[in-house]
């Protein structure tokens, strides 16, 4: 660039003329208010942005649905407001965070890009809430609720229409429990005690114990499946005078309580089956060693040390599993008795302690 006064070439790095000192005019300023030209966006980029936006929105809905199901058990008209409020809260929080980010960083982005970030961030925030312990629906009800439910069971004429299915199912469950107890008690009347020296006396006695255990396993297997009883609930609900929507919502609420019921029932039955199978294996082992052991002073003496070790391990395992089963079974019975007492059902047809 030449100086406008002396026409000499101004060296690089100088804004004014070093030769005559004349001040040179600065570069033309960009007029204020002119719009900034953004780079053009191709149709492919528009399409990809739309796909990602729809995907993030779908993910946001799915994550929030899982969150409501985890806490409430199911999504229905009753908790739809809670679901919508949860979605709105996540969106608002995500939008605030995105706004603050762009404000602090002084960045600008297209609305579609900002919306994509908001949905993704809101989904992430909801996922983080799933990491917290769930609020279980099976929490212990209040004494007042239990007493009211007990009164409804005992007085069908003053209870609402939805108590009838619960009453019928409860009677089915009690009937199943009483039949199981009756058959086990009847078998115990003629059964010989397990694990006593007398039960290993000779081959005939051991065979009797084997047959006795087979009979006991047959009873356990007969009452090992709870599903046929639970399946009756659909028929009981179908008979109620109500709309299909009401029936569907009632069944959804009922089914949300079943996982804990099934898990408790299965845990007890698994312990029972394990105990009986190990006990059967013990007596079958002794039966296979007929003539190779004797009973002296209340102890089994095997001719081979290895057989004695195997017998002792099997006997210890059988007794341990028997104790674990009985503890689990009576813990369930104790809980049933306590709840019946809170509901005021002692002595009624709904009393789980009654055997008839």
* 184 in the same domain as 151: yes
Q: Both 155 and 297 in a single domain? A: yes
Do residues 270 and 227 both lie within one domain? yes
Predicted local distance difference test score (pLDDT) of residue 92: 77
pLDDT higher than threshold 70 for residue 261: yes
103 and 176, same domain (yes or no): no
Final residue belonging to a domain, choices 130, 158, 193 = 130
Pair (123, 174) in one structural domain: no
Question: Which pLDDT does position 224 carry in this prediction?
Answer: 93
Lowest mean pLDDT among 79-88, 225-234, 330-339: 79-88
**Tokens for 314?**
């099997």
Q: State the pLDDT at residue 256.
A: 87
Same domain, 108 and 148: no
- Determine the 3-state secondary structure of 301 from DSSP: strand
Q: Where are the beta strands (DSSP E) in the chain?
A: 293-296, 299-302
Residue 235, in any domain of the structure: yes
pLDDT at position 54: 74
Domain-ending residue, one of 103, 130, 157:
130
Is the pTM higher than 0.85? The answer reads: no
Residue 162 CB partners (closer than 8 Å, separation 6+): 240, 242, 250
Same domain assignment for residues 197 and 295: yes
Q: What angle do CA 271, 276, 257 make, to 5 degrees?
A: 30
Q: What is the mean pLDDT of the chain?
A: 77
What is the domain count for the chain?
A: 2
Residues 91-103: pLDDT tens digits? 777 677 666 666 6
In a domain, 208, yes or no: yes
Beta-carbon contacts of residue 170 (< 8 Å; ≥ 6 apart): 153, 350
Q: 116 and 181: one domain? A: no
- Overall average pLDDT of the 239-261 stretch: 88
CA dihedral sign of residues 239, 245, 246, 251? positive
Whole domain around residue 119: which residue ranges?
43-130
Q: Which residue has the tokens 């070790």?
A: 309
Among 94, 109, 130, the domain boundary falls at 130
């Amino acid at each position: 660039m030449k100086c406008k006064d002396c026409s000499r070439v101004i060296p690089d790095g100088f804004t004014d003329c070093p030769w005559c000192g004349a001040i040179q005019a600065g570069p033309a300023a960009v007029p204020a208010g002119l719009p900034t030209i953004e780079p053009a966006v191709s149709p492919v980029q528009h399409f990809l942005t739309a796909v990602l936006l729809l995907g993030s929105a779908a993910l946001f809905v799915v994550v929030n649905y899982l969150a409501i199901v985890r806490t409430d058990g199911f999504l229905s008209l009753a908790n739809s407001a809670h679901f919508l409020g949860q979605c709105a809260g996540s969106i608002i929080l995500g939008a605030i965070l995105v706004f603050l980010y762009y404000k602090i960083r002084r960045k600008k982005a297209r609305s579609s890009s900002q919306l994509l970030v908001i949905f993704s961030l809101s989904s992430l925030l909801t996922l983080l809430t799933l990491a917290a312990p769930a609020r279980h629906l099976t929490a212990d009800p209040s004494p007042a609720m239990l007493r009211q439910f007990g009164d409804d069971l005992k007085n069908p004429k003053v209870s609402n229409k939805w108590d009838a299915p619960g009453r019928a199912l409860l009677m089915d469950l009690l009937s199943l429990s009483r039949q199981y107890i009756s058959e086990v008690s009847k078998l115990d009347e003629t059964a010989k005690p397990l694990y006593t020296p007398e039960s290993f006396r000779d081959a005939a006695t051991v065979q009797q114990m084997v047959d006795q255990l087979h009979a006991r396993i047959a009873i356990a297997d007969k009452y090992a499946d709870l599903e046929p009883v639970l399946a009756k609930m659909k028929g009981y609900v179908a008979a109620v005078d109500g709309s299909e929507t009401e029936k569907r919502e009632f069944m959804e609420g009922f089914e949300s309580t079943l996982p804990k019921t099934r898990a408790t029932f299965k845990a007890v039955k698994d312990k029972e089956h394990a105990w009986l199978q190990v006990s059967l294996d013990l007596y079958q082992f002794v039966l296979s060693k007929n003539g190779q052991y004797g009973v002296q002073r209340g102890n089994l003496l095997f001719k081979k040390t290895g057989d004695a070790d195997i017998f002792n391990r099997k006997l210890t395992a059988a007794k341990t599993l028997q104790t674990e089963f009985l503890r689990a079974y009576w813990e369930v019975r104790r809980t049933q008795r306590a709840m019946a007492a809170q509901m005021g059902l002692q002595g009624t047809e709904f009393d789980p302690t009654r055997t008839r």
